[in-house]
Chains A and B, each alone.
Chain A
Amino acid sequence: MARRPGFFDRLRPGRSAGSEPEPTGDPFVDALRAALGADGVRIDGAHRALHSHDASVFDEGNAGPVCYPSTAAEVQAVVRLAAEHRRNVVPRGAGTGLAGGAIPLGQSVVIAMTRMNRVLEVDTTNRIAWVEPGVINLDLTRQLAPLGYHFAPDPSSQQVCTIGGNVANNSGGPHCLAYGVTAAHVVAVEVVLPDGELVTLGGLDPEPAGYDLRGAFVGSEGLLGITTRVAVRITRNRPEVRTLLLSFDEVRDAANTVSGVIAAGIVPAAMEVMDQLITRAVENYVGAGYPTDAAAVLLAEVDGLAGGVDLDAERIAEIGRANDATDVRLAGSEEERALLWKGRKTAFGAIAQIAPDYYLHDTVVPRSALADVLTEIYAIAERHEVLVMNVFHAGDGNLHPLLIFDGREPGMLDRVHAAGGEIIEASLAAGGVLSGEHGIGLEKQKFMDRMFTADDLDHQNRLRQAFDPGCRTNPGKVIPSSHSCADIQALKSVPREVWV
């Protein structure tokens, strides 16, 4: 089932003597404990259950020992011991992933990065920060604020998700429209390879020698190795920001405004759309000042120097009016602006307050196809009798249909999955792709052959095997089993009670 944001596990293992796990007699666990200390390895049922899930709906997770390394050397030790004992490993950040990427299959060893959460160095000359992977996205931006910088990728989950998770999923966020997703903000990654070697991929220089292994690693969903340190680009804060709120009587008009803005050669910092249902939920939740009578609202933001932002804001307002915007409002103060963004970024939290369960989808379509695909999505939901709300990164065509349901209703989950499948097909048919930011994980493996040929998948697997010839790191994800090196059936068939 969809887990509520309140579930996100920022849990740290206690270091008190009282939390000492009972001895197991399992030589693997004993070896892990010898390397990490007793409080660095947890095998109790509660820990394993917690780490068998992430924020997705999938429940086939089955965690083995949960390890909390504090250093890259400890990560190396865990990876080497796991290889010796022929066990798989799964890296984990905050567990906010929505595609099941951090879900351990077949009692994989979970490597939780929560203890590695230091910002190691901020270097404004090179415009980078070296951070450990467990650093929370928003914590980094907060630490950079006094220097006048921020970390540009800003997923809506940024209050809890980790930089390591962002790197693994190549995460995006509202402000990635102008500034690019995580891949554009990672210059180097220190990685423990599946054979236990510690390497640095990429570098602070713009064109490091050799293949762009850093580029291949970002977005690899934890299958190519464990990130232990990242050099991220830091971005200068903009002196001027203009935030516009446009209201529409038709969702289509909002979508057409978005493609009109891009077609006019304007790349705003962000362009986000919310439909009426979600806008109302947000208003009930935070009272951000969104109009609840509009069919859709468009939040558009431009930033930079004063002259340009005024020109662009004016142009966006004009394009909105030409597309029948019923109201165009410029946020008058920093407070008003912050409140609008708070509303947008807590949209999912707002839903969690009112809905028993939700399933958040993630596809991308060409921006010119937004209006048509949205119409189709509403029709699909209606056909399957599930409630759908749309809140999405409209500027880059990244749809996030949110299916709301009560999982206790008989047959409901089947309808939800059927509707989801049709949404994916509709997006592909419009010239789109499977995922814009949540990744493939467990969720979309079965759709990979709808976008890629057997040869394409074979080459993705060759890349994976160059890093992980034994397929021990996060096996059973991304690449469909028929093209993958690991036998994922075997992974899924380990009964949950069995402790191996």
Chain B
Amino acid sequence: MTAEATVPTLATDDPVLAAFAEEVGVDGPVAVEGGRTRWSLGGELAPGTRTVRAPTGIVAYTPDEMTVTVRAGTPVADLRAALAERGQRTALPERGGTVGGAVVVGESDVRALGLGSVRNAVLQVRYASADGRIVSGGGPTVKNVSGFDLPRLLVGSLGTLGLVAEVILRTNPMPPVSRWLRAGDADPQAVVDRLLDPSAVLWDGTTTWVLLEGHEPDVDAEQITLAGVGSFVPVDSDPATGVPVALPPNRWSLAPGDLVDLDGSATGAFVAAVGVGLVLAERPQPPRRLAPAVAAVAERLKQNFDPTGRLNPGRNPADR
């Protein structure tokens, strides 16, 4: 083993990251433009904000470690294609945009039961700070408790604490079999209760869609179990979204147990991820207020990370 060859490169040694930090600079309002798929989330960007682009490309992909190091500006679709070649995938949702965008938005796919959540997928994050430095948090291995968890803090931060330049993501093996089934007469909660590990249970108030994944004999066995809950038939998913139903545009985040009360009166037409609590709906979720003491911590965080408020001005993850 040549120690020299494997010494972890400090972020500061990477010219691409250094160039990005320089572009972010030290003053004036600035934001990263990704795929603009969730551009208005958490508020409109303040007028006059300069936009920069994050670096692109896969830096290192080690399928045997189940990790990938990828620049934030890389399209999610490119990452997906590269991983698929080696029979793997990540938790990032399939709806276009860039890797960095998906991380700072932090929204999981409706198949989060099977894919995992974005919050659990980011092992290391490297970002340009408000004072134009490259900062790293987390580490390259799948297990790590060295220092505070900056990756989790940055996931869902809407770029208000740092502009993400590069991440290391956990990858997962693609299951040997993925099978969507649909029924018009099934109680979705019964589906969640009866199956061991469905990858998704979607419900629009009438129809229930179930994604079974794993070894073929297990998927077959779970399909037989499902027959006791409703008249399920196989159904194709849309290759673009990975799901068999069109998803409404607005996201609601509810306790999984609260989905029983869902009747569309507040949400309009909806598709709910049962067992997760995510609801995609015609109408937006009413604003959720942070408790004052929690808001105070959030304000101090913003103040400590970005004292002049130059990163993504106008956006606030509490207003999503």
Interface residues of A, Cβ cutoff 8 Å to B: 123, 125-127, 169-170, 172, 176, 180-181, 183-184, 193, 197-201, 203-213, 215-216, 218-220, 236, 238-239, 259, 262-263, 265-267, 304-308, 311-312, 364-369, 372, 376, 393, 396-398, 428-440, 444, 448, 451-453, 455-460, 462-467, 469, 478-479
Contacts and interface: CB of A to CB of B under 8 A. Distances in A.
A220 to B, nearest CB: 6
A312 B176 CA distance: 12
Contacts of A396: 141-143
A439 B173 contact: no
B197 interface: yes
23 contacts: A205-B258, A206-B277, A209-B319, A210-B294, A210-B298, A213-B294, A215-B155, A216-B148, A216-B150, A218-B152, A219-B148, A367-B64, A393-B143, A428-B8, A432-B141, A433-B139, A433-B146, A435-B146, A451-B146, A451-B147, A459-B162, A462-B301, A462-B304
Given A205-B255, A462-B305, A307 B221 contact: yes
A426 to B, nearest CB: 8
B63 to A, nearest CB: 7
Nearest to B285: A209
B53 to A, nearest CB: 22
A262 B3 CA distance: 23
Contacts of B275: 127
A220 B87 CA distance: 35
Contacts of A453: 10-12, 135-136
Given A205-B255, A428-B8, A219 B145 contact: yes
A172 B157 CA distance: 26
Contacts of B216: 307
Interface in B61-93: 62-66, 87-88
Contacts of A459: 129, 135, 137, 150, 162, 305
Given A262-B64, A308-B215, A204 B156 contact: no
Interface centre among B120, B146, B319 (most CB of A within 10 A): B146
A211 B143 contact: no
B253 A205 contact: yes
B153 A434 contact: no
Given A431-B6, A467-B297, A452 B147 contact: yes
Nearest to A312: B215
B318 A209 contact: yes
B222 interface: yes
B136 A126 contact: no
B112 to A, nearest CB: 7
A428 to B, nearest CB: 7
Nearest to A439: B145
Interface residues of B, number: 91
A397 to B, nearest CB: 6
B164 interface: no
Contacts of B172: 267
Given A210-B317, A238-B196, A451 B153 contact: no
Given A212-B106, A453-B10, A463-B148, A206 B253 contact: yes
Contacts of A366: 62, 65, 140-141
B300 interface: yes
B297 A466 contact: yes
Interface of B: 1, 3, 6-8, 10-12, 62-66, 87-88, 106-108, 112, 117, 119-120, 129, 133-137, 139-150, 152-153, 155-157, 161-162, 172-174, 189, 196-197, 214-218, 220-222, 251, 253-258, 275-278, 288-291, 293-298, 300-301, 303-305, 317-320
A449 to B, nearest CB: 11
Interface centre among A265, A451, A465 (most CB of B within 10 A): A265
A219 B277 CA distance: 25
Contacts of B220: 307
A181 B142 CA distance: 10
B256 A126 contact: yes
A201 B149 CA distance: 15
Contacts of B147: 434, 440, 448, 451-452, 456-457, 460, 478-479
Top 4 nearest A-B pairs (CB, nearest first) are: A307-B217, A215-B152, A265-B173, A308-B215
Given A369-B1, A396-B142, A464-B148, A193 B64 contact: no
A213 B64 CA distance: 32
Interface centre among A183, A368, A393, A456 (most CB of B within 10 A): A456
Contact of B173 (A169, A267, A376): A267
A304 B297 contact: no
Given A193-B297, A219-B149, A239 B196 contact: yes
Contacts of A439: 145
Given A205-B255, A238-B196, A433-B139, A308 B214 contact: yes
Contacts of B218: 304-308
A409 to B, nearest CB: 31
A224 B116 CA distance: 27
A216 B146 contact: no
A241 to B, nearest CB: 13
B256 A127 contact: yes
B119 A211 contact: no
Given A307-B215, A396-B142, A462-B305, A183 B255 contact: no
A311 B220 CA distance: 14
Contacts of A440: 145-147
A210 B146 contact: no
A453 B143 CA distance: 20
Contacts of B144: 364, 433, 435-436
B150 A209 contact: no
A372 B139 CA distance: 20
A200 to B, nearest CB: 7
A365 to B, nearest CB: 7
A267 B291 CA distance: 40
Contact of B221 (A170, A305, A437): A305
B278 A460 contact: no
B168 to A, nearest CB: 11
Given A193-B297, A432-B141, A436-B143, A206 B149 contact: no
A442 to B, nearest CB: 14
Contacts of A462: 301, 304-305
Contacts of A456: 11, 135-137, 147
Nearest to A459: B135
A480 B107 CA distance: 34
A184 B174 CA distance: 20
Nearest to A203: B255
A429 B2 CA distance: 9
Contacts of A239: 196
A236 B197 CA distance: 9
